[in-house]
Amino acid sequence: MTTLTEWLRDPSPSSRAQARLGQLWLGWLRFRRNPMAMLGATIVVLLLLMAAFAPWVAPYDPITQNLAERLKPPMTGGHLMGTDEFGRDIFSRIVWGSRVTLYIVVLVAVTAPVFGMLIGTVAGYAGGWVDQVLMRITDIFLAFPKLILALALVAVLGPGIENAVLAIALTSWPPYARVARAETLTVRNSDYIAAVQLQGAGPVRIILGHVMPMCLSSVIIRVTLDMAGVILTAAGLGFLGLGAQPPMAEWGMMISSGRKFLFEQWWVATMPGLAIFIVSLGFNLLGDGLRDVLDPRSAGK
């Protein structure tokens, strides 16, 4: 009787589903052999679980103030990471702040890469003046530092988490357009594209059905690696008071409120800073691992 592992590793799959599942299984085996990638995946999974089960993980309400417990050091009075200047439990605020971080990350991940990949594939496939116009627009956005441009957009739109997400998304799409265009230029003259054209497929069908899927692996790698930058940009906006607004628990805003206690009550700003560092490191390690698995140029290394 054929086991599931043997079925997945069958060199002659009998169906497309078996072939795809077999590729996923082999990719998982390569990914699992990378301990740093597994560490990054573990950090990201723990972040997801912490955000999903925040009401049960957090021991205290993240908003309720208790001035009698203000500025308690870590491991004191039942507060694992201490309390802030309003007596709020820092660990509980970090747990609830993970929801804000994931909210920003997910919204940016489903908007900026899709728009950037659409611009890049259209530019690379069409060529000519379409390519020139779209890439010059992309260059204009790339000419400005991401954080500075996000600050300008939020200043115009007004402070708030929704405007922060919109600003970050508008400043994050150009690199994806560049990556998608480069991938499109390598495949647009391929034999299978010519065969699809001979079958009567139009440009829209070719771009959406045949060119974009070839760009997905590179874009996924770039998205994972860019998530650390998205988190830092969101924290920077929160630090300046342009992102999430009080009393919402947000890591950048927590660092901003705790910076005046940095020398004496160091934990108020240090704990959310460590949260940003660990989560950013996790996404970077995960992105490196996915690059080793999804990049065909490194698959055989």
* Residues 256 and 239: beta-carbon distance below 8 Å: yes
Tell me the C-alpha distance between 275 and 190, whole Å: 46
* Residues 279 and 43: beta-carbon distance below 8 Å: yes
Count the helix, strand and coil residues of the chain and give each as a percent rounded to the nearest 5. Answer: 75, 0, 25
243: which 2 tokens?
């992102």
CA atoms lying within 13 Å on the CB side of residue 280: 16
pLDDT (0 to 100) of residue 36: 93
pLDDT (0 to 100) of residue 295: 67
- Give pLDDT < 50 ranges for the chain: 1, 299-301
pLDDT (0 to 100) of residue 298: 52
Give me the amino acid identity at 120: G
The answer for 158, left when phi > 0, alpha when psi is -120 to 50, beta otherwise, is: left
Q: What is the pTM of this model?
A: 0.86
Tell me the C-alpha distance between 232 and 279, whole Å: 10
Q: What are phi and psi of 251, to 5 degrees?
A: -60, -45
pLDDT (0 to 100) of residue 301: 45
pLDDT (0 to 100) of residue 89: 93
Q: pLDDT of 53-108, one tens digit each? A: 999 999 999 998 988 888 999 988 889 999 999 999 999 999 999 999 999 989 99
Domains of the chain: 41-61+82-294 (1.10.3720.10)
